[in-house]
Amino acid sequence: MRILQLSAEIFPLLKTGGLADVTGALPSALHAAGCEVRVLLPGFPAVMAGVESAETVGQFLAPWGETLQVRFGALADVPGGEGPLKAYVLDVPGLFDRPGNPYEDAQRRPYADNARRFAALGWAAAHLGHGLDRHWSPDLVHGHDWHAGLACACLRLWPDAGARRVPSVYTVHNLAYQGLFGPQHLEEIGLPQVAFQMEGLEFHGQISFMKAGLFYADRITTVSPTYAQEIQTTEQGCGLDGLLRARSESLSGILNAVDDAVWNPATDRHLARNFDVRRPGGKVECKSRLQREMGLDDAADAPLFAMVSRLAEQKGVHLVLAAVNSIVQSGGQLLVLGSGDAELERAFSLAAIQHPGGVAVHIGYDEALAHRIFAGSDVTLIPSRFEPCGLTQMYGLKYGSLPLVRGVGGLADTVVDADLATLEDQSATGVVFHDFTDEAFQYALRRSVALYRHPRAWAKVRRSGMRQSFSWIHAAQQYVSVYQQLIGH
Ligand code: ADP
C-alpha cells in the first residue's frame, strides 16, 4: 500500500505540539506494518534545511495563478523504515519561508494568507494523488489536522471526472483548532461554489478547513477512543458534533503511542543517568540534578510536581496556578516548562518569584529539558479541560513520573486511578480526577501526596506505569486496517 502522509509538522524537524511526535513516528511504524509511506510537507525553513538532495518532481498551477514547485528528497533525521523518510516538500518561499512559528507571526497573529498557504498544501496532495510525480503515486492520502483538511476536499472534487478517485483518511488531533477563513477566500482556495454549503465546508458563513476534512474524507480517525466519542457530543463537538454523529460509522479512535527511540529512560541521552523499571535507582539522581538545575531545593523527599505543556486554557493551567500555595504548603515542589498565553506565562513567572526553592518555571520551548523533567519529577500534571490524546501522561508513565490527570479523552484511556482496589490488583498507574474545579484538582493533589508518603505503594504504582506499553506498531496496524477498508488490499 502506498500512503502519502500530509501534515504541517514532523518531529524532529518542526514541532509545536503532539502532532509532530505522531507524524514523525507513524511512517516507520507503518512501514513495519507493510506500507510504503512518503510524506508531503510545506517548505518551512526547518523542513527545507532537513531535506536532502531535493529534486523538483513537478509543478502545478495554484488557483490564484502562481506556479508552485514540488520537490522530492529524503529527511535524514526522520526514520522511514528502510533508511531516511522519503518526502515531498511544497517549495514556495513566498508562502512558507518565514522565521518562527509556522502558523503565526511574532505577535502571535495567524498569518493573513493562511487560507492560501494551506490550500496550496491541499492541492499539492491532490496533484500527487493524480500523477504529479511520474514515478510514484499514492493509493491513499492520510492528512493530519486542519492544515491538511482541504486535501480531502480537493481529492473528492478533483475536476477531472474520469480520473481514478484517490481516497483519503483524515485524523483529528485537536478539534478546537479549525482553520476558519472568511468566504472571500473561496475563489482563492480553488474549490467550486458547491463546496460552500452546509453539505460541504461551510461553517456558519465561513470556510472551515477542519470541516472540509471531516466532510470529504472517506474515513475519519481521531487520537483516542474516548475523544472519538466525546467529539460527537454538544459539549466537546465544537459545533461539528452533528456532522460527526452523522459520520459516526466512518469515525474511529486510534490511540497515539510513544516512540521508543525518542522516549525511553533506559537509553535517553538527555539524562544524567539512565534507568528502567528493573533498575529505577537512576531516577533519584535525575531528580536531584533537576532540582539543582532549576533552582529548586535539593530535597529528595519533596514530591516534585511537573507540567510540560502549551500554556493554554485547554490544559487546565489555571487549576495549577490556583494550587501553587497548597502544593508548597504540603511540602511539595512545582516545576513548569511551557509557553503560550502571555498572561499565563506572567502568572507562572510570578509564582516562581514568590516561592523561591519551591516553584521553578521555565518559559519557552526546550525539548531536552522536557526529557529531564519527566525523568526527574515524581508527578506529571495534566488537568486538561479536554485532551484528544495527550502524550505527556504517556511520557510520565514511561519515565516513572506518575500522571495526575483529568479523566477526559486520551487521558481516560491511558491512566488508571489509584484506589484501594486498583492498588491491590496492581492496575493503578496514576491519579485521576473528574470535575474541572479547583476543589477536585486539589483533592487529587492531596491524594498524590498521601500516596507519595507510602513509599511501597508509590513504588508499585510507578512500576505498573513504567511497564505500560504504548506501541506505534499496534497503532499502525489499526491505521492499516482503516486503509485496507478503503483500498481493499
Ligand atoms: P498538545 O499537542 O495539545 O500540545 P500533547 O500532550 O499531545 O499536547 O503533546 C505535547 C508535546 O509537546 C509533548 O511532546 C510535550 O513534551 C511537548 N511540549 C509541550 N510544551 C513543551 C515545551 N515548552 N518544551 C518542550 N516540549 C514541550
Cβ–ligand 1 contact at 337 (below 6 Å): yes
Exposure letters 131-166 (e unless 16+ CB within 10 A, then b): ebbeebbbbbbbbbbbbbbbbbbbbbbbeeeeeeeb
The alpha carbon of 285 and the centre of ligand 1 are apart by a number of angstroms equal to 24
Give 315-367 as a DSSP string: GTHHHHHHTHHHHHHTT-EEEEEEEE-HHHHHHHHHHHHHSTTTEEEEES--H
% pLDDT > 90, the chain: 97
Which residue has a Cα nearest atom 14 of ligand 1? Answer: 18
In angstroms, rounded to a whole number, what is the distance separating the alpha carbons of residues 176 and 236?
Answer: 9
User: Distance between CA 188 and CA 483 in Å, rounded?
Assistant: 31
C-alpha of residue 338 to centroid of ligand 1, in Å = 8
Mean pLDDT value across residues 446-471 = 97
- Region 444-458 average pLDDT: 98
* 121 CA distance to ligand 1 middle (Å): 24
Q: Is the preceding omega at residue 12 within 30 degrees of 0, hence cis? A: yes
Could you tell me which of 13, 154, 7, 101 has the C-alpha nearest to residue 310?
101
Beta strands in 113-210 (DSSP E): 140-144, 168-172, 180-181, 202-203, 206-208
Pairing mode, if any, of strands 379-382 and 431-433?
unpaired
From the CB of 339, is ligand 1 less than 6 Å away?
Answer: yes
pLDDT band at residue 332 under the 50/70/90 scheme: very high
Which ligand 1 atom lies nearest to the CA of residue 21?
A: 14
How large is the average pLDDT for residues 373-396? 98
Q: What is the mean pLDDT of residues 268-286?
A: 97
The finding on whether 316 has its CB within 6 A of some atom of ligand 1 is: no
List C-alpha distances in Å: 274 to 263, 271, 300.
Answer: 12, 6, 18
State residue 351's pLDDT score: 98
| Distance of CA 86 from the midpoint of ligand 1 (Å) | 25
Residue 309 in contact with ligand 1 by CB distance below 6 A: yes
Q: Could you tell me how far CA 66 lies from the centroid of its own chain?
A: 32
**Closest Cα to atom 17 of ligand 1:** 17
With a 6 Å cutoff on the Cβ, whether 392 touches ligand 1 is yes
pTM, whole model, 2 decimals?
Answer: 0.96
Dihedral sign, Cα of residue 241, residue 243, residue 244, residue 248: positive
For 13-56, how does the pLDDT look when each residue is reduced to its tens digit (9 = 90+)? 999 999 999 999 999 999 999 999 999 999 999 999 999 989 99
- CB of 409 within 6 A of ligand 1: the answer is no
Write the pLDDT tens digit of every residue in 60-115: 999 999 999 999 999 999 999 999 999 999 999 999 999 989 999 988 899 999 99
Cα(392) to centroid(ligand 1), Å: 7
* CB of 410 shorter than 6 A to ligand 1: no
CATH superfamily name and code, 282-466: Glycogen Phosphorylase B; (3.40.50.2000)
pLDDT > 90? residue 387:
yes
Compute how many other C-beta atoms are within 10 angstroms of the C-beta atom of residue 358: 22
pLDDT digits (tens, 9 = 90+) for 292-328: 999 999 999 999 999 999 999 999 999 999 999 999 9
pLDDT of residue 489: 60
Q: Is the CB of 390 under 6 A from ligand 1?
A: yes
In testing the pocket of ligand 1, which one of 263, 392, 397 has its CB within 8 Å of the most ligand atoms? 392
> How far, in Å, from the CA of 337 to the mean position of ligand 1?
10
Q: Which amino acid is at 59?
A: Q
Report pLDDT for 100.
Answer: 87
Question: Could you tell me which CATH number the domain at 2-257+472-487 has?
Answer: 3.40.50.2000
Instruction: Please provide the average confidence, as pLDDT, over all residues in the chain.
Output: 97
Banded model confidence at residue 488, pLDDT cuts 50, 70, 90: confident
Average confidence (pLDDT) over 269-288: 97
Every domain range in the chain assigned CATH 3.40.50.2000:
2-257+472-487, 282-466
Residue identified by cell 510514484 is: 136
Joined grid coordinates for residue 93: 518561499
The arithmetic mean of pLDDT across residues 429-437, rounded, is: 98
Rounded to whole angstroms, the Cα distance separating 129 from 120 reads 14
CB count within 10 Å of CB 194 equals: 9
**Angle CA(199)–CA(200)–CA(204) in degrees, nearest 5?**
85
d(CA 463, CA 276): 9
Q: Residue 161's pLDDT band (boundaries 50, 70, 90)?
A: confident
Q: Whose CA is nearest to atom 22 of ligand 1?
A: 365
Angle at 391 between CA 327 and CA 208, to 5 degrees: 115
Ligand 1 centre and the CA of 302: distance in Å?
25
Backbone angles phi, psi at 431, to 5 degrees: -125, 130
Residue from 415, 421, 387 nearest 401 by CA: 415
Average pLDDT of the segment spanning 243-254 = 98
